[in-house]
Structure 1
Amino acid sequence: MPVIKDVLLQLLFSLMPFVAYNIYYRKLTVNYSRNFIIIICSLCLLLSMTFASSVQSGIIYDVRYVIMFFGMLFGGFATGAILLVEFLIYRLYIGGSGMADAILILILTFPLSVLLSFLYHQSKHKFWIIFITGISFSFIPLIVLYITKTDYVMDNFLFNILAIPVTNSLGIWLLVTLFNKSVSDKELYLRYIQNEKAEAVNHVAASLAHEVRNPLTTVLGFLQLIKSGTLPQEKIDRFLDISMDEIHRTEQILSEYLSISKPHLPFQQRIELTAQIKSVVELMTSYANMSNVTLSADYPSSPLYISGSPAELKQLLINFIKNAIEACKDVDNGMVNITVYEETDQVTVEIKDNGVGMTPEQLSRLGSIYYSTKMSGTGLGLTFSYQAIQAMNGSVSVRSSPRSGAVFLITLPHADLNP
């Protein structure tokens, strides 16, 4: 049983680089570095030699060959040389009757490690290189000890022919295989991240160019007509008004794109919700009148407090109410009603319209970036709104069907109950 415990302990030391890599690099957007390999291999070498296996005083067994080969394989020759110096200094410090044999074995195994690591990188049959490495590191120490200490090998025959080969062969196979798998997975993940970033940039660039080009084309056309000098003043004034409206629309599009890229800061302040809604309703009433839509609101008599950003809250309310008004433009007696409900631990804002409604497919995509139910929309207004509500620990739900209007329920936690 002590032998099994020693073998398992040494295998644990041999797998430390794999474990440390998965812990340290799990969330990083870079792969391993040579410094990481040097540090973790140096630590593993010290631990394995400090808690080495031994059946006779002065003769110790550990995973030094596994660690040095691994360090050279993934950190280069310089890493192997550093580990070699570390081993020599620490082995001289430990001393014992097996010190000379250990140095002799290292003289044989270190050049072999250099050769096998080179062959590993060049060969397509990497499994066989690992197999040969494990066998070599298992039997070279046995052969050297059999020549120099025959009685010791024969007296501890079972330990020498089982524990040492298992530790070295299994250790090197597990470490290299598992570490290679983790590195390959990480490289795939990094490539995926890069592709996602490139795709997002292309998507944003194409969408922004498309959205901005239309109003700019309109403005350019009107300016060319005005420049001709053949138009009456009435038309010039009209074209200038349209051009200014298009420039304002361009500014709004750019603001929506910028709002998506802004991080939602964790800092929030106490906001009186009723006052904010009253302000937004007053602001949007003229827009509703222009669209022949009746806008109304019902509030509780007592103040309602939530936590969040006043500017973001105002913007998201404008986005939802504006969308509701636009959904009612083409229906008779269009109506949008805002109702605020206070519950024990939360506040619910209901925005209800009798507009064109939405299909189940449209409902499932609401809030997705660049998706809009309007022909001229970017979809960024609702995307920003959903993100802002999530930043305030709130939620959004919606009920709708074609030609039956829509009901948006915005639920936000009560400020008094927030920690």
Structure 2
Amino acid sequence: MAGFYINQHVLNNLFYILVTVFAFSFIYDHSAAIQRKPLYSRALLAVCMALASVLCMKFPIYVDPTCIHDFRQIPFLLGTLYGGSAVGAVLFAVSMLARTILYGFQPLTVVVYAIMFVAASAVSPLFQRLPRPAKLFTTLWLTFLLAVLTTFVAIIIADFPVTKPYIVYFILMPPFVMMFAAYVMETLHEAQLARVELMKMEKMEIVSQLAASISHEIRNPLTVVKGFIQLLQTRPMPRETEERYIRIASEEVERAEAIIHDYLTFAKPAPKKTEPIDVAVELQRVIQMIQPLAHMHSIEISSSLKHGVVIGNVQYFQQCFLNLAKNSIEAMPDGGRLHISAHRQGGAVVITIVDNGIGMTKEQVRRFGEPYFSTKEKGTGLGTMVAVKIIEQMGGTWTIESAVQKGTTLTVTLPAGRVQPPASEQSAAG
């Protein structure tokens, strides 16, 4: 008997309800305007539930000469309970209009759904404050009691015949379908809240990591500076020793200043001023800036730079690749070779930085760009983090190929701008 009543039409009605519930959740989750304004969310709920009601009526479960059986009351009650009387009024009007257009006007139907509307609207304010288990319990018993109540009203007013299909499709099945639909809505809503909380926790984790990194790294040079100042104040010493102490203290202050600069570059918002950037020209300038550091580490720099234009902030572009090139140089403490190349590839500009330094493990590659992570003994990871953020702000992506003691290849892909350099300038090499 159960197999007879749970047929394709029942599953179709359930499908219409669940699809519109998922549609509401998806649109709500991806629209900041709807999330900010309750009026918009209620309007969206009314549209989705009205669509489900109309589909249930258009493709009913069972039709007999006296009554049409479907699950239209499920989206009607859902919308009224979650959206309040305003949503319920819209659903009532749409349901009655659709019922008249599809099957003709029936006064009894108006009376039945008017009772449902009044009851659900009265319960709605309390319902919305209930915890999830209580909401599910309420939907089950409210739907069942309304079905029984409206059945008695129909019998009194119109001597309505109660058949087995009516009992199954209007009284017994809907409470469980209603509870299941409410369970889905609650689950989707809790998933949205959990995702928001997770994003907040991730942001707080980054902030705490940055704070720990800054605190730790700045405390060290300040401790050194304080120690040397105390030494200079305690007793007389040769001029050469004083100069050496002052030089070391000055270097530590510069180190603290560099850490703060990296942090501020990461923390400040994306620059509003953007312009076309010729990657060949700017990368050549970066190479010139790091050339002295490369000589100090016995590193040979070569380049193969093709002209290409990207859109961004010139200062941040230089900062990004200066940090990345500096990382490569510091990864070759015993000297080596650094090669920087750039070329157009379809609608993008590809920039590659290759070194034959100490390389990275798979775990180090995975954590590349994370705050408070560095492969260097005295590194903070802020320089790499700044570079990664700048690449993302420009709409770019990056990949790393690395092997321990063999070297690292970093590939940055940036979207090409529409403005192109002169045709006579096709390549630059350093």
Partner of residue 335, structure 1: 336
Partner of residue 403, structure 2: 400
Partner of residue 27, structure 2: 23
Partner of residue 260, structure 2: 254
Partner of residue 212, structure 1: 218
**Residue type at the aligned position of 2:278:** I
Q: How does 1:78-89 map to 2 (within 5 A)?
A: 79-80=84-85, 83=88, 87=92
Residues 49, 211 of structure 1: alpha-carbon distance in 2 compared, 3 angstrom cutoff = same
Q: How does 1:190-339 map to 2 (within 5 A)?
A: 190-228=196-234, 230-262=236-268, 267=274, 269-273=276-280, 275-289=281-295, 291-299=296-304, 304-309=307-312, 310-329=314-333, 331=334, 334-338=335-339
Q: Deviations over 1:69-120 (max 9, x none)?
A: 5356445xxx24874698599979x999854784477458845875698589
Question: Please, which moves more after superposition, 197-206 or 8-17?
Answer: 8-17
**Residue type at the aligned position of 1:398:** E
Q: Deviations over 1:267-292 (max 9, x none)?
A: 5514151x434433332232234x34
Partner of residue 368, structure 1: 370
Q: Following TM superposition, by how much is the alpha carbon of 1:245 offset from its aligned partner in structure 2, in angstroms?
A: 2.0
Partner of residue 189, structure 1: 195
The TM-score with structure 1 as length reference comes to 0.72
SS at match of 1:153: coil
Partner of residue 147, structure 1: 156
The whole-number CA distance in structure 2 between the counterparts of 1:14 and 1:43 is 14
Give the one of 383, 386, 392 matched to 2:385: 383
Structure 2's unaligned 5+ residue stretches are: 1-7, 421-430
Contact 1:259 1:384 in 2 (8 A): yes
Q: Following TM superposition, by how much is the alpha carbon of 1:342 offset from its aligned partner in structure 2, in angstroms?
A: 5.1
The whole-number CA distance in structure 2 between the counterparts of 1:248 and 1:87 is 71
Give the one of 180, 183, 193 matched to 2:186: 180
**Residue type at the aligned position of 2:370:** S
SS at match of 2:161: helix
Q: Following TM superposition, by how much is the alpha carbon of 1:253 offset from its aligned partner in structure 2, in angstroms?
A: 1.0
SS at match of 1:372: coil
Residues 400, 278 of structure 1: alpha-carbon distance in 2 compared, 3 angstrom cutoff = same
Residues 298, 166 of structure 1: alpha-carbon distance in 2 compared, 3 angstrom cutoff = same
Residues 294, 181 of structure 1: alpha-carbon distance in 2 compared, 3 angstrom cutoff = closer
**Residue type at the aligned position of 1:385:** A
Contact 1:257 1:380 in 2 (8 A): yes
Q: Deviations over 1:325-369 (max 9, x none)?
A: 33333x3xx23333537576555544334x444444434433333
The whole-number CA distance in structure 1 between the counterparts of 2:38 and 2:395 is 43
Question: Please, which moves more after superposition, 162-171 or 241-250?
Answer: 162-171
Contact 2:309 2:418 in 1 (8 A): no
Indicate whether 1:169 and 2:156 are aligned.
no
Residues 270, 18 of structure 1: alpha-carbon distance in 2 compared, 3 angstrom cutoff = closer
Q: Following TM superposition, by how much is the alpha carbon of 1:212 offset from its aligned partner in structure 2, in angstroms?
A: 1.4
The whole-number CA distance in structure 1 between the counterparts of 2:412 and 2:29 is 38
SS at match of 1:376: coil
Contact 1:394 1:412 in 2 (8 A): yes
Q: Following TM superposition, by how much is the alpha carbon of 1:374 offset from its aligned partner in structure 2, in angstroms?
A: 0.9
Q: Deviations over 1:114-167 (max 9, x none)?
A: 5698589379566554332232222222221112212x536xx47744553478
Q: Following TM superposition, by how much is the alpha carbon of 1:249 offset from its aligned partner in structure 2, in angstroms?
A: 1.4
SS at match of 1:370: coil
The whole-number CA distance in structure 2 between the counterparts of 1:242 and 1:49 is 79
Q: How does 1:4-15 map to 2 (within 5 A)?
A: 12=16
SS at match of 1:375: coil
Number of aligned pairs? 401
The whole-number CA distance in structure 2 between the counterparts of 1:6 and 1:396 is 51
**Residue type at the aligned position of 1:335:** G
Contact 1:215 1:246 in 2 (8 A): yes
The whole-number CA distance in structure 2 between the counterparts of 1:255 and 1:213 is 16
Residues 181, 412 of structure 1: alpha-carbon distance in 2 compared, 3 angstrom cutoff = closer
Contact 1:7 1:163 in 2 (8 A): no
**Residue type at the aligned position of 2:321:** L
The TM-score with structure 2 as length reference comes to 0.71
The whole-number CA distance in structure 2 between the counterparts of 1:68 and 1:88 is 11
SS at match of 1:307: strand
Contact 2:353 2:411 in 1 (8 A): yes
**Residue type at the aligned position of 1:297:** S
Contact 1:37 1:71 in 2 (8 A): no
Q: Following TM superposition, by how much is the alpha carbon of 1:206 offset from its aligned partner in structure 2, in angstroms?
A: 1.1
Indicate whether 1:130 and 2:139 are aligned.
yes
Contact 1:320 1:351 in 2 (8 A): no
Residues 112, 369 of structure 1: alpha-carbon distance in 2 compared, 3 angstrom cutoff = closer
Indicate whether 1:352 and 2:355 are aligned.
yes
Residues 262, 57 of structure 1: alpha-carbon distance in 2 compared, 3 angstrom cutoff = farther
The whole-number CA distance in structure 1 between the counterparts of 2:417 and 2:50 is 56
The whole-number CA distance in structure 1 between the counterparts of 2:90 and 2:417 is 64
Residues 262, 62 of structure 1: alpha-carbon distance in 2 compared, 3 angstrom cutoff = farther
Contact 1:68 1:80 in 2 (8 A): no
**Residue type at the aligned position of 1:213:** R
The whole-number CA distance in structure 2 between the counterparts of 1:358 and 1:101 is 72
Query: Which entry has the higher C-alpha Rg, 1 or 2?
Result: 1
Q: Following TM superposition, by how much is the alpha carbon of 1:202 offset from its aligned partner in structure 2, in angstroms?
A: 1.4
Structure 1's unaligned 5+ residue stretches are: none
